[in-house]
Copies of this chain bind each other. A is one copy, B any other.
């Protein structure tokens, strides 16, 4: 049984007050021109979909992916269908950038995990905010559904059309608007690729406050729209703190200019916050002002083996106390994860086999000081038995090699069969309990139950693999996983389709809606058999 999310009333009040046009979602997509050639291992997410897509022609692969409405019982709302007149009008708005070639439209219609497929007939490539505003105003007036798309690197199918929505790609909105080399404030268009921005600010002595495996393809606009966490969350915190300003186009074409670049700004309500993590449901982000921290001059990575999860937690405590301000990441993975990356990717474990592995990264301004601190920490955890074996990396090659063990788990999982993915925030003490619990509950019906994640953020990536998709296995998993999580006062980070996941990206179930379509959301389905509304524990209980 599919559930239709019960939308909270206030959401409609808000929409009625502020959005009077076609609702839009911020999506991510990498057009061919945005494909980077990443040499390193850390760009797995960015390169992987492209490598896979590149391994056979898109046209020969696309038919493999079932159309979303054929797989899920979703219903197209009464939007208009794009006419020849519409195409002519759109051509007038973005001349030469109205894509209708079916071949070119196949990639942006499919998510990179190849789980969902829309049937959009038109993709637009605006270059400016004004073009986006004109597009949305026109679509609003014509009651045409719109699907904004950035790098299309999301892992819950949130960045592809469901039906025939017009795709508005931010791929050509890739200009840096300003950078201040004292304050580190970067202002740029939403379609800038994260890795390109990283390179830009690193040349100027700064780093981006977020880093993702998908950095080679993902757009900063999509990062903000999904409130991406990623690998630097522990050190630099949430985008809610580092994003200083946004420019957003509302569904009716209104441009909302909250693009302040001041570090501190207390004038009035902070409306931009509503758009951070709202997945484009309230508007299309067209420009971002973001605070970049100074670039650390030294980075070190330690990869450690731990005998149990209690030791992992205690290692984290010790780490926080001894590494303090230079600690930049604390990731963990279980032995099953290591088996996966070894089996499917041929990576080798650099330490003795252990029930758990921990990756600790430091980033600081004093190479000697950092090495000394890390040395003291390692001595302490080895002497106390919290860690049984470990290895260090401080040059770029080895750092990438060690990070690959953690970052390529997603890729290895996708080689293991059908994957049921969950991304949960849990209290640290109970972070891993669900994994063992599920192993016992599922028994041989699951091929593998694995757990890994950003321990510093309280984030568990729970994955269950099986040879093929099974409705009965799904029924055993859900709503059990959600209820277990809720019982710990935890949160699932998004409502993913079964078998789809993203890391650090929320996904709101919301279909494109027109001015006349303020009714129950109808977008891609949520987890089957899970009757609770989208209004989650993090939402207010009114």
Contacts and interface: CB of A to CB of B under 8 A. Distances in A.
Interface of A: 10-11, 13-14, 16-18, 180, 182-183, 205, 226-227, 229, 233, 237-238, 240-242, 254-258, 260-271, 273-274, 276-278, 282, 294, 296-297, 313, 316-317, 320-326, 363-366, 369, 372-373, 425-429, 454, 456-459, 489-494, 504-506, 508, 534-542
A351 to B, nearest CB: 24
A264 B508 contact: no
Contacts of A238: 241, 264
A253 to B, nearest CB: 12
A483 to B, nearest CB: 15
12 contacts: A13-B16, A182-B317, A237-B241, A240-B270, A256-B542, A257-B541, A264-B425, A264-B454, A267-B493, A267-B537, A268-B506, A270-B276
Contacts of A297: 324
A390 to B, nearest CB: 20
A245 to B, nearest CB: 8
A365 B535 contact: no
A524 to B, nearest CB: 16
A277 B266 CA distance: 7
Contact of A17 (B13, B262, B363, B538): B13
Nearest to A262: B425
Contacts of A265: 425, 491, 493, 538
Nearest to A282: B269
Rank and list the top 3 A-B pairs by shortest CB-CB distance, nearest first: A241-B241, A324-B365, A13-B17
Given A238-B241, A316-B182, A268 B17 contact: no
Contacts of A508: 268
B373 A538 contact: no
Most chain B CB atoms below 10 A, which of A257, A266, A313: A266
Copies of this chain present in the complex amount to 2
A267 B321 contact: no
B313 A325 contact: no
A18 B271 CA distance: 15
Given A17-B13, A273-B273, A267 B237 contact: no
Given A233-B264, A267-B494, A268-B535, 4 more contacts: A14-B14, A262-B491, A263-B459, A264-B457
Given A262-B425, A265-B425, A365-B324, A540 B257 contact: yes
Contact of A324 (B324, B364, B492): B364
Contacts of A321: 205, 294, 365
A203 to B, nearest CB: 15
Nearest to A536: B267
Contact of A540 (B242, B258, B457, B506): B258
A238 B237 CA distance: 10
A227 B294 CA distance: 25
A537 B261 CA distance: 11
A268 B505 CA distance: 11
Nearest to A255: B541
B17 A258 contact: no
Contact of A458 (B264, B317, B491, B506): B264
A527 to B, nearest CB: 14
Contacts of A277: 266, 269-270
B180 A266 contact: no
Contact of A322 (B316, B324, B365, B504): B365
A294 B321 CA distance: 7
A263 B227 contact: no
Contact of A493 (B226, B266, B294, B313): B266
B537 A260 contact: yes
A320 B294 CA distance: 7
B17 A267 contact: no
A256 B491 CA distance: 18
A428 B182 contact: yes
Contact of A271 (B489, B491, B539): B539
